[in-house]
Structure 1
Amino acid sequence: MPLALSRRHAIAAGLAGAAAAATPRRARAATKTKIRYLTSWFPQAEHGGYYQALATGLYEREGLDVTIDMGGPQVNGLQLLTAGAADIIMGYDIQVLSAIERKLPVVTVATTFQSDLQGLMTHPDIKGIAQLKGHRILIANTSYATFWPWLKQRFGFTDEQAGPYTFNLQPFLIDPNVAVQAYGTSEPFEAKQMGAQVNFFLFADDGYPPYGSTMVTRTEFAARQPDAVRGFIRASLLGWRDYMHDPAPGNRLIKQANPKMTDARIAYAIAQMKALHVLDGGDARTMGLGIMTAARWQKTRDFLVAGKILSPQTDWRAAFTTKFIDGMRIMPDGTA
């Protein structure tokens, strides 16, 4: 087991033990539902609400014994979920729609962010994505099956413009005519650390419809443990609400699980999430954190079908359910 994972389990065990010591014997006798939650990457501020919920006892308050496992470049979250090695994972709409096309028994039960943090990073002379027509745009191989078809439909970009992005920023930094795919909380930070002046354009601001960092489980688990799923969603969203006001408890767990994470990177990511309103923007302003709508899911389905990424026969409505999040109304202003 990697060192970071060992530390994380030790932290969780310590928190559980402290809570048990302060809980009456009768309450301790009740069995908590175990949930293994798998994130998409190494612990970071973009996962902060989940660590906040663990650190402050929000999961325990819902009768849950939650373990947070970290993803990474060699971790296939969907495979672990369908194999039963994880109960809920951090996913994304396109991944789940593809899984439904392949008849995998998974379902999205809520979202974290109202918009994906994906976008493009450019040099300062570019004032909008539309200006990049004819420019070289560096993208990862996986992006040809996610946002690239949307960019072509929305802005008329061509495959000839696309170049390989190997997660090395040097080709972008040395060529003023190049743009590069970027996560709003990541590449701009790296570029600025290297002394570069950059602009960042969030795809969602131009209509890119997928949600970001969704909560995905097995259909069987959602049917068998509906109260646990609802409790996990509620605690996680309360954790996110609290994290954006006082991230210190969550940050302590993040840094213990990922010692390479710095205060500067965490602070930048939190500032960007606030500035881009990925958590509290869109429908979340009036309907509550974590909300999803069929209209948004259909927009994602439609651009994937138009880009020949998804079969038009796919039962896209099976990719999500709103029955857990509807009516929860955890508002960004602190009401719940």
Structure 2
Amino acid sequence: MRNQIKKEFRTIPYFILLVILAVMIFYVLGKKNHGTINSKENNDYFPLVLGTDWFAQAEHGGFYQAVAEGIYEKYGLNVKIKMGGPQVNGIQLLLADEVQFYVPASYIMMSAAKQKLPIISVAAIFQKDIQVLLAHPNVGNDTLENMKNKPIFISAPTAASIWGFLEGKYGYKESQKKSYSHSLTPFLQDKNSIQEGILTSEPYLIEKNFGFKPVAILLSDYGFSGYGELLTTTKKFEEKHPKIVQNFVNATLEGWKSYLENPTLGNELIKNANPEMTDELLQFAHQKFINEKIISGGDAELYGMGIMTDVRWREFANMLIESKAFDKNIDYHSIYTLKYLNNTK
């Protein structure tokens, strides 16, 4: 029987055996290296995770636009956006390398300098900080000075970013702080109270849902001169991957330019990520970006979107030092670099 098998085996043409053997080898190697093939394809684009500071919204529109239009891929990047939220600490995620970029405001970066955290900002999307304090109309709370000694509903993260300024420059007191759980009800029930918010969201929501236009005090109009949505990474990542950082900056700014011109594609991704988002709120925020020149104003009119300057950082730091929010020896130069802004488009 064994001899019969050998005999029949010898009758199979060698070229057929070679074909069979080649197919078997290709199949085995293909199965074994399936992940490697995908990794090779993925490796054509450098993987990055961008952590945002809240649920998907217009304030992140340029990032989503860059994803939707394939702009990041054009720059050799595979960017995923990780939404933030009330319980998400973006700085911790950044330091843990769970995200490679995060978008804090200037005050948070000053706090990072105080703590000597190894993170660095490489571009500023918002030339104005868009944080506001909201008040009921016709009760006299129409300036920051008049809001002193009034109850202010404010979350811990927001207080961490603006309270030192309010306390130092305007004499606000800790007793004014009232816990804010992202519900407008306490504010609506007390006409003498103040509410935190952002220019591009809460004013619209209050007017639409409750029928009155709140007083909105934009802190940047009162000397809170920081940047918003700062593209920020770790110093380790920046030193190791300068070309990737440059490409991410360029692609992101291109995405924001496109979003300001026509936000349709970015907004679709935003709504997919955050089903509670509405077209009306997205449109309201987009119009605020344009009317208030949040992204394109200030130094950006001269030097282009994303710009930061030593003068602006120094003014912001000095304002906070004079307000006693930070010590005069704080090394604020350590938290930003301008070198990626000379090659932006």
Residues 1:211 and 2:237 aligned together? no
Matched ranges for 1:75-90 at <5 A: 75-90=88-103
Identity of aligned residues (%): 36
1:282 positional shift: 1.3
Q: Could you say which structure has the larger radius of gyration?
A: 2
Residues 1:40 and 2:40 aligned together? no
Residues 1:196 and 2:209 aligned together? no
Number of matched residues? 302
Matched ranges for 1:1-336 at <5 A: 31-125=44-138, 126-192=141-207, 193-328=209-344, 336=345
AA at the equivalent of 1:89: Y
- Is the partner of 1:132 in helix, strand or coil? coil
CA RMSD of aligned residues (A): 2.2
CA distance in 2, matches of 1:58, 1:242: 10
1:29 positional shift: 9.7
CA distance in 2, matches of 1:86, 1:141: 22
CA distance in 1, matches of 2:96, 2:133: 35
CA distance in 1, matches of 2:152, 2:274: 32
Partner of 2:31: none
CA distance in 2, matches of 1:143, 1:32: 36
CA distance in 2, matches of 1:255, 1:95: 28
Q: Given that residues 149 and 303 in structure 1 are in contact (C-alpha distance below 8 angstroms), is that contact kept between their aligned partners in structure 2?
A: no
Q: Given that residues 168 and 324 in structure 2 are in contact (C-alpha distance below 8 angstroms), is that contact kept between their aligned partners in structure 1?
A: no
1:278 positional shift: 1.2
CA distance in 2, matches of 1:106, 1:36: 16
CA distance in 1, matches of 2:42, 2:205: 49
- Is the partner of 1:48 in helix, strand or coil? helix
Q: Given that residues 61 and 263 in structure 2 are in contact (C-alpha distance below 8 angstroms), is that contact kept between their aligned partners in structure 1?
A: yes
- Is the partner of 1:197 in helix, strand or coil? coil
CA distance in 2, matches of 1:251, 1:241: 14
Runs of 4+ in structure 1 off by over 6 angstroms are: none
CA distance in 2, matches of 1:146, 1:131: 21
Q: Given that residues 133 and 156 in structure 1 are in contact (C-alpha distance below 8 angstroms), is that contact kept between their aligned partners in structure 2?
A: yes
AA at the equivalent of 1:218: T
CA distance in 1, matches of 2:267, 2:83: 15
Q: Given that residues 165 and 325 in structure 2 are in contact (C-alpha distance below 8 angstroms), is that contact kept between their aligned partners in structure 1?
A: no
Decide whether aligned partners of structure 1 residues 166 and 59 sit closer, same or farther in structure 2, where only a CA change above 3 A counts.
same
Q: Given that residues 260 and 286 in structure 2 are in contact (C-alpha distance below 8 angstroms), is that contact kept between their aligned partners in structure 1?
A: yes
Q: Which runs of 5+ in 1 are unaligned?
A: 1-27, 329-335
CA distance in 2, matches of 1:101, 1:110: 20
CA distance in 2, matches of 1:309, 1:129: 17
AA at the equivalent of 1:298: R
Q: Report Cα offsets for 1:251-284 as digits up to 9, x if no partner.
A: 1111112222111221222122223221112111
